[in-house]
C-alpha cells in the first residue's frame, strides 16, 4: 500500500523526544550469560552496547519522559493532544493500553488513545495512521510514540536474540504546519513470514508449554530485511518522482549494521547521509527510528528543508517507509 500526501494540507513533526534506560550493557557483560565475545557481536551486528530496563521499569516509564519532551518542544501540553498512538510489542500489559495510561498521565482527557502492534515497523505504521487521522479531520494534534522493552521477552540464554536487542522509546508530535512536511507513506506486510520472528504463547492461540520468549530465524529475517529496505525505499521515491540522490538524510531501522550497509550500497546512499546508532542502542524495535531521528537532530544532521527518508521492517513480517521535508529547528 502506497500513497502520497493530501494536496493542500501540510502535516509535519513539530516536537521530538526520546528516553532510554540508565543501565548500559556491554558485549563483555553479555558474555556472562551466553557464549559470545565483543569481537563476535561486533563482527556480525556492529552493536557494542545497549540499554536495558530495570526490573521495575515498563514501557510507559520510558514513553512518558519522551512524550513530555516532544510536547515541550512543540510548545504544547497533554491537554492539546487529541490522538495518542503507541507503537509497541511490549506494552505495560495487554489492557488497558499503554496509550490510555499515557493519556491519563499527560492530562490528555479527550484524546483517543491506543496501542499498535507491527513489530519493528510499528513507528512507521503509527506515523501513517496519525497522518491519516489529521488529514481526514478526525484529529488536530497527534502524539506518536514508538518504543519497546524487549529485554523483558528475551531468553537470556539464547545468543541469537540476546545480543541484538535493547530498550528505548521515542515520541513525536504531528500537526498542521505552514510548509510542506510528509510527502508519502508506503506500508506492507507478508504474514507468510510470521514465524520467522514471533512470540508464541503470548496471545489466545494455544501452545504446548510455550516459553514466551522471542523466537527468530535469523537467516530468513536477514534475507527479508536486506530486500525490503531497498524495495520500500525505491517504491516510495518512485511514487514521488524522486531519486535517492534527492535524499538528504536516510534513517533505516536500526536492526543490524550489516543489514544497513547492504541497503545503503544497493540504494547508492552516501554514508554521510545515513544515520546509524545501533552500535549504542542495539535494536530497540519501534523505538529505533525515533531514537535515530533524535540523534540526527541533536548533532545537526537534520535541518529544515531537507528530504528525509525513513524505512522500517520487522515482525509480521512488516515494512514501511515515510518520506518528508524536515521542518523543525533543533532545540536551542
CB 230 within 8 A of CB 260: no
Q: What is the CB neighbour count within 10 angstroms for residue 218? A: 14
What sign results for the dihedral spanned by CA atoms 290, 292, 294, 300? Answer: negative
For 130, counting Cβ atoms within 10 Å of its Cβ (0-12 exposed, 13-18 middle, 19+ buried), the class is buried
Supply φ then ψ for residue 155, to 5 degrees. -85, 110
Question: Is 283 tagged catalytic?
Answer: yes
Supply φ then ψ for residue 197, to 5 degrees. -155, 100
Catalytic residue among 18, 27, 256, 283: 283
Q: Cell numbers 528516553 correspond to what residue?
A: 19
Question: Is 217 tagged catalytic?
Answer: no
* Angstrom distance (rounded) from CA 161 to CA 38: 15
Question: CA geometry: angle at 18 spanning 166 and 250, to 5°?
Answer: 80
Question: Is 120 tagged catalytic?
Answer: yes
What contacts 24+ positions apart, CB below 8 Å, involve 136-142? 138/83, 139/82, 139/83, 139/112, 140/82, 140/175, 140/176, 141/76, 141/80, 141/81, 141/82, 141/83, 141/173, 141/174, 141/175, 142/81, 142/82, 142/83, 142/84, 142/85, 142/173, 142/174, 142/175
CB 197 within 8 A of CB 214: yes
* Angstrom distance (rounded) from CA 72 to CA 15: 7
Catalytic residue among 18, 27, 120, 256: 120
Give the residue numbers annotated as catalytic, written as ranges.
120, 253, 283
Amino acid at each position: 500500500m502506497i500513497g502520497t500526501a493530501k494536496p493542500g494540507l501540510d502535516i509535519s513533526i513539530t516536537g521530538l523526544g526520546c528516553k532510554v534506560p540508565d543501565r548500559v550493557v556491554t558485549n563483555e557483560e553479555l558474555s556472562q550469560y551466553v557464549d559470545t565475545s565483543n569481537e563476535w557481536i561486533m563482527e556480525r551486528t556492529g552493536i557494542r552496547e545497549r540499554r536495558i530496563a530495570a526490573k521495575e521499569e515498563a514501557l510507559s516509564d520510558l514513553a512518558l519522559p519522551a512524550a513530555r519532551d516532544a510536547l515541550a518542544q512543540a510548545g504544547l501540553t497533554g491537554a492539546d493532544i487529541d490522538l495518542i498512538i503507541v507503537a509497541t510489542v511490549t506494552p505495560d500489559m495487554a489492557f488497558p493500553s499503554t496509550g490510555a495510561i499515557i493519556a491519563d498521565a499527560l492530562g490528555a482527557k479527550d484524546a483517543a488513545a491506543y496501542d499498535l502492534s507491527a513489530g519493528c515497523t510499528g513507528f512507521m505504521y503509527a506515523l501513517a495512521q496519525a497522518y491519516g487521522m489529521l488529514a481526514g479531520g478526525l484529529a488536530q494534534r497527534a502524539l506518536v510514540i514508538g518504543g519497546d522493552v524487549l529485554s523483558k521477552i528475551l531468553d537470556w540464554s539464547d545468543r541469537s536474540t540476546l545480543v541484538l536487542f535493547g530498550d528505548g522509546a521515542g515520541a513525536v508530535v504531528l500537526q498542521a504546519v505552514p510548509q510542506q512536511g510528509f510527502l508519502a507513506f508506503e506500508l506492507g506486510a507478508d504474514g507468510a513470514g510470521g514465524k520467522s520472528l514471533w512470540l508464541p504463547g503470548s496471545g489466545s492461540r494455544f501452545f504446548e508449554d510455550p516459553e514466551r520468549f522471542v523466537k527468530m530465524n535469523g537467516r530468513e529475517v536477514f534475507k527479508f530485511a536486506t530486500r525490503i529496505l531497498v524495495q520500500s525505499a525505491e517504491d516510495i521515491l518512485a511514487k514521488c518522482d524522486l531519486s535517492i540522490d534527492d535524499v538528504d538524510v536516510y534513517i533505516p531501522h536500526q536492526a543490524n549494521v550489516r543489514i544497513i550497509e547492504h541497503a545503503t550500497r544497493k540504494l547508492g546512499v552516501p554514508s554521510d547521509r545515513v544515520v546509524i546508532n545501533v552500535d549504542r542502542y542495539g535494536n530497540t524495535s519501534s523505538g529505533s527510528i525515533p531514537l535515530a531521528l533524535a540523534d540526527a537532530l541533536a548533532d545537526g544532521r537534520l535541518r529544515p528543508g531537507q528530504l528525509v527518508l525513513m524505512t522500517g521492517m520487522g515482525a509480521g513480517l512488516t515494512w514501511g517507509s515515510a518520506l518528508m521535508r524536515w521542518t523543525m529547528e533543533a532545540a536551542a
